[in-house]
């Protein structure tokens, strides 16, 4: 389907922004230079009549994104947490996209529930409310279970959402190919890989069985986290298009007036939401990747409640260590170490100069550390870091896209609670704790134990594997699978793992 017909979709996107009046608002929000403003008007105005009209009662940008469909709405949700980028007024308008979209009828929802669960709604629930929240992919109903009287949230997918998302993603693929064709310098960013990654994440949201599994795994990882709660999944009442969970009772995290009225400390909540995310990402390698205000509440006891687990991020242990060392290096302003980590991880080509890269990183970090607390921004750091790594030939790391994006979103949520928050001071104890636990003597001992455990599975086969690796593992000779496994064990991991592997190899050969 990815052909020139997608030009129509892209043209209509620009035309919709022009027709809704969103074009000027967006250009103002991003402080676009005069030439770009003129070009946008000249190119947009003739096609204005092709754009979707949308709901004229909505603010222009919300009107345009909502008219264009779910993929565009997702983008708006992200930007609603970045008032430092789009301005406070536009950020407040975009927040409507999180959970206040037009719902579909309760009758249609009941049909979906019966079709998925094989039971009528009145057989399962004694109460089933009209939609209490409607987002881009699904809507939620508050219900009471007939047998137990427990209050639950019933999430139901929007009818036809699968096809709508595939249409938008198809156009994104076409746009990515167009960019790569006419802008060779962009190929290092691998636009199509980025879209493919986005597609995998979003399509996972369209199967609520996967979301239920995400919630279960996340709950197991975080059950001991102080100040954090998750609703529990009702597996017997969940399927591909319907998911039932316990009701999350609390104040929306995006409602500062309600939070203040309930007597909660917004500065404490601001720190907690950021530290929880860092702990989940670094400690567990499994984190909520859609942590905007619409998916967070504050419980009566002050705990943060997270829900909507359609998008979860996963990073392996080695990447976590790299990420932590980069963050820790910036926090300590040790730019030489940050540069070395980039080279050790293979993020920057080995033929580049590490000292020059370290100086470029200093130019990124020092201006940010010189700012007052209200202006220090992880988002700004990522933007500057992207510019530097581009100059040094670093390719886009698709496995870090969700992590980087969520970091920006979480920072926006934290700042909406406490604009005075110093992100470095809040992040420092979490990152330092991870460094002490996972990158040090204790980590080396744990790596050794894990390596011995893996080697023990091969038992008597180890001598033959080592001999085969030494004889056949030359650069010009294809290496069989067992030898490739051994090579990965000895040389494919971190420096610690490599050292442990070499020591074991020496012991085995002695």
The catalytic site residues sit at: 290
> Do the beta carbons of residue 290 and residue 310 sit within 8 Å?
yes
**Beta carbons within 10 angstroms of residue 261's beta carbon:** 10
d(CA 131, CA 109): 9
d(CA 69, CA 165): 8
For 470, the enclosing helix (H) or strand (E) is: helix 462-472
Tokens encoding 242: 């319907």
The length of the chain is 510
Q: Which of 302, 40, 372, 70 is nearest to 198 (CA)?
A: 70
Return all residues near 318 (Cβ < 8 A) that are at least 6 apart: 493, 494
Q: Are strands 138-145 and 125-134 parallel, antiparallel or unpaired?
A: antiparallel
- Give whole-number Cα distances, 335 to 45, 266, 328, 388, in Å: 48, 33, 10, 13
For 431, the enclosing helix (H) or strand (E) is: helix 423-438
> Do the beta carbons of residue 189 and residue 396 sit within 8 Å?
yes
Tokens encoding 8: 């129509």
Residue with tokens 């609390």: 250
Phi, psi of 364 (to 5 degrees): -80, -50
- Give whole-number Cα distances, 17 to 10, 55, 65, 73, 347, in Å: 11, 13, 8, 13, 37
d(CA 90, CA 391): 32
Q: Count Cα neighbours of 276 within 13 Å in the Cβ-side half-sphere.
A: 28
> Do the beta carbons of residue 95 and residue 80 sit within 8 Å?
yes
Q: Are strands 304-306 and 228-229 parallel, antiparallel or unpaired?
A: parallel
């Amino acid at each position: 389907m990815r052909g020139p017909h997608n030009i129509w979709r892209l043209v209509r996107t620009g035309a919709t922004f022009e027709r809704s009046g969103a074009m000027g608002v967006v250009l103002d929000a991003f402080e676009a230079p005069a030439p770009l403003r003129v070009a946008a008007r000249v190119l947009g105005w003739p096609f204005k009549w092709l754009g979707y009209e949308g709901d004229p009662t909505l603010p222009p940008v919300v009107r345009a994104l909502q008219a264009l469909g779910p993929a565009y709405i997702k983008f708006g949700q992200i930007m609603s947490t970045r008032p430092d980028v789009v301005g406070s007024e536009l950020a407040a308008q975009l927040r409507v996209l999180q959970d206040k979209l037009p719902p579909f009828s309760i009758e249609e929802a009941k049909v979906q529930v019966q079709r998925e669960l094989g039971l009528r709604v009145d057989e399962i629930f004694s109460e089933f409310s009209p939609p209490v929240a409607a987002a881009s992919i699904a809507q939620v109903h508050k219900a009471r279970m007939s047998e137990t009287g427990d209050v639950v949230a019933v999430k139901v997918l929007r009818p036809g959402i699968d096809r709508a998302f595939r249409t938008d993603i198809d156009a994104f693929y076409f746009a990515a190919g167009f960019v790569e064709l006419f802008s060779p310098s962009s190929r290092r960013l691998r636009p199509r890989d980025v879209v493919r990654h986005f597609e995998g994440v979003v399509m996972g949201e369209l199967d609520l069985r996967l979301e239920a599994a995400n919630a279960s795994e996340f709950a197991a990882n975080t059950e001991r986290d102080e100040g954090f709660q998750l609703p529990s999944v009702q597996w017997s009442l969940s399927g591909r298009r319907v998911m039932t969970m316990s009701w999350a009772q609390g104040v929306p995290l995006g409602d500062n007036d309600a939070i203040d009225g309930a007597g909660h400390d917004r500065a404490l909540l601001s720190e907690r939401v950021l530290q929880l995310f860092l702990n989940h990402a670094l400690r567990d390698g499994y984190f909520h990747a859609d942590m905007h205000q619409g998916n967070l509440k504050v419980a009566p006891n002050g705990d943060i409640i997270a829900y909507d687990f359609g998008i979860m991020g996963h990073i392996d242990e080695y990447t976590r260590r790299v990420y932590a060392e980069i963050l820790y290096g910036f926090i300590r302003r040790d730019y030489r170490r940050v540069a070395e980590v980039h080279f050790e991880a293979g993020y920057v080509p080995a033929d580049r100069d590490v000292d020059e890269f370290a100086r470029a990183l200093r130019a990124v970090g020092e201006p940010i550390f010189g700012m007052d607390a209200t202006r220090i921004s992880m988002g700004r750091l990522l933007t500057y870091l992207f510019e530097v790594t581009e100059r040094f030939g670093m390719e886009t790391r698709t496995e870090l896209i969700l992590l980087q994006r969520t970091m920006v979103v979480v920072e926006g949520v934290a700042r909406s609670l406490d604009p005075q928050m110093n992100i470095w001071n809040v992040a420092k104890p979490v990152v330092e704790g991870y460094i002490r636990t996972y990158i040090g003597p204790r980590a080396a001992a744990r790596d050794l134990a894990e390596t011995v455990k893996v080697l023990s599975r091969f038992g008597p086969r180890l001598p033959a594997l080592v001999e085969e690796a030494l004889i056949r593992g030359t650069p010009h000779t294809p290496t069989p699978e067992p030898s490739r496994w051994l090579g990965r064990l000895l040389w494919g991991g971190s420096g610690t793992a490599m050292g442990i592997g070499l020591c074991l190899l020496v012991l085995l050969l002695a």
